[in-house]
Structure 1
Amino acid sequence: KKVVDIPSSILNSILSDLEKNDLILNSKDRKVLEEFVSLFELFNEAIVLTQGESYATIRLVAPTVLGILFDLERELGSSTLTLVSLCEALIASIKARF
């Protein structure tokens, strides 16, 4: 996630200085990266929430799954989402399992 916080011009300059030109992101690559980070943050929050050691977490499963499903459907409704097929596959998988 930290890479996304670095402005594109600075990140690309650093990569160029390191002679890693194949890693330089154009605007489309940057957008895809940001959308991946956004999707994976949903799962990171769920993992952190449900791995408690000092409290019962089984009661958090249903609300967490519903929260992920709601967030995925909201992301899918976004007009700028380029990861539509991934989002649709995740939604279908969640619905099939729960």
Structure 2
Amino acid sequence: MEVRRVVLAPGESYELRLTGRGARGYVWTWRVTGDEDAVSVAQGPEGEPDDALPGAAVERVYVVRARGVGGRARVRFAQVRPPYPDEAPYDEFVLDVQVDSE
């Protein structure tokens, strides 16, 4: 599991690219802990590259945006298969975010 730390100003965003395995039934989910109001997370635009082979791993983009309040939040991304909620994640990624107050 990789852990990355970033510092953002209010309103600033951080783009994270994670390799998808949708052909195998895996999707990335996320959960925010700590100062949950300090950040928002959204999945970026969808779209498969024109040259992607069927079943190939494709990057997924997630945008973490700092809100207007300071604080520290941890965003844990987990690659799971929704039909099997008790199965351990295939992969995990943690983003520690410090939001500097205005």
- TM-score between the two structures when normalised by the length of structure 2: 0.24
Q: Which has the larger radius of gyration?
A: 1
- TM-score between the two structures when normalised by the length of structure 1: 0.24
Pick the structure with more helix per residue: 1
Pick the structure with more strand per residue: 2
